[in-house]
Structure 1
């Protein structure tokens, strides 16, 4: 047997075993940011609602103003030249929103609100909000909050800001709204995330239909694995094009054969 054929045969078997294994559905995922490791306890019902509606979530616990925990990874931020991650696998705060459809912050304080409103960084919340807004990701924040950190409330034994600071806090909230931050009652944050996830899914579905219709009405190949034998078995390719679904695997030999024939592969959703 030719070496290339042997490699293709082995590759086909491996890829086929991967295809036959169940794939995890590409579900929307949101990031919750809590002040400490106990702040999430009153949000269990929201997590259940997200799960029941097919929306995943991760929780980031703040370990201070400039450090936090996302799973087993400790994330830190700092000034220029300072360490910003505590382990080699932890993402930078600015990188965190890339993996999520949106960010939910149930409670924000005067300090972080001021940083976000002024476009400043330096804390975990401020950097993640800045990154999410730049990337066009939705940021949802609880509107029924006092503006005082949980730790400050415990230390100062008070639940509200004085009137002057309260006015300043409201001004910062107005500035954040202008930047694109959305405010909802804490109990409605999960509902807002579910609505946005559904709207995004509908938009993607409509876009996929339009892109599929724009492929010159060609037949979309539904096979999950295209081999050289499959390519050779085709009588012809209309307009020298092959339209397949995203996620379709084209073997190396099939790719070489398509190039030799001058066939262009188009991927659609």
Structure 2
């Protein structure tokens, strides 16, 4: 029994160290109107996977609820239930976990809410939190502005002229808020370009002089050459106002140091140096 426990502990420790060594892939959140709306975007997902970009899909189940995997999210207003199960985040918290949000199709109602800074729907709350946290939001530009469910119910494909003009006005206001627009077939390219623009230069890309890295690294970035980061070192980094640590892939971070890195909001970047 003791040998079996030791084997399990050893296996867990090995997997934990491997997880630390592997750089975390950027992930984006796609919001779809219903459970079948994602089907035309299979090529988009293939492109993202080929670029090493992960994604999750959120399927709306009405205006105030949605499904993320097996978790049902609820947006029911202040003082009411916001998550239908204990593991589901509230919509306004969801964007914390993602580099950005992609909405392939937006409608008149949600465009109006977002432009006015109002919450109350899943899309509006997620976009509000993403923009507040300086995450990028990309919306499909070639959309009619009328919900899929409304198109099916009313048997129409476009908004009438007065509503269409109002919708275009809201789209302009969304651009002023910092929301980017592109054609639906270009969503993967737009996401890739946005993530590439936000990705900090790696240690490998820094110019060398006399076999050493040049000293033009920002003062809030530290290149860490050792093989273990301890909690005491992280506290020292925080005192020096270090916001990013660049290290080799084989460097190990102690559990307490990992917690302190998250607490102090110090990011970690891995290089291929040996």
Query: What TM-score do the two structures reach when normalised by structure 1?
Result: 0.75
SS of structure 2 residue aligned to 1:59: strand
Equivalents in 2 of 1:57, 1:104: separation in Å?
10
Equivalents in 2 of 1:106, 1:41: separation in Å?
12
SS of structure 1 residue aligned to 2:130: helix
Equivalents in 2 of 1:249, 1:68: separation in Å?
37
Structure 2 match to 1:117: 115
Where structure 1 has 5 or more consecutive residues not aligned to the other structure, the ranges are 1-10, 227-240, 253-265
Structure 1 match to 2:51: 53
- Post-superposition shift, 1:223? 1.3
1:36-63 per-residue CA deviation (whole Å, 9 max, x = no partner) reads 0000000000000000011000000001
SS of structure 2 residue aligned to 1:183: strand
Residues 85 and 223 from structure 1, CA distance in 2 versus in 1: closer, same or farther, beyond 3 angstroms?
same
Structure 2 match to 1:248: 252
Structure 2 match to 1:198: 196
1:222-265 per-residue CA deviation (whole Å, 9 max, x = no partner) reads 31477xxxxxxxxxxxxxx9x9848633588xxxxxxxxxxxxx
Where structure 2 has 5 or more consecutive residues not aligned to the other structure, the ranges are 1-8, 207-213, 231-239, 257-265, 270-274
Equivalents in 2 of 1:183, 1:58: separation in Å?
20
Matches within 5 A, 1:161-240: 161-201=159-199, 203-205=200-202, 213=217, 220-224=224-228
Query: What TM-score do the two structures reach when normalised by structure 2?
Result: 0.74
Equivalents in 2 of 1:211, 1:268: separation in Å?
19
Matches within 5 A, 1:1-269: 15=13, 18-19=16-17, 23-201=21-199, 203-205=200-202, 213=217, 220-224=224-228, 245=247, 248-250=252-254, 269=269
Residues 44 and 194 from structure 1, CA distance in 2 versus in 1: closer, same or farther, beyond 3 angstroms?
same
- Post-superposition shift, 1:18? 3.4
Structure 2 match to 1:261: none
Equivalents in 2 of 1:244, 1:205: separation in Å?
8
Residues 244 and 62 from structure 1, CA distance in 2 versus in 1: closer, same or farther, beyond 3 angstroms?
closer
Contact 1:222 1:244 in 2 (8 A): no
Number of aligned positions between the proteins: 232
SS of structure 1 residue aligned to 2:125: helix
- Post-superposition shift, 1:81? 1.7
- Post-superposition shift, 1:200? 1.8
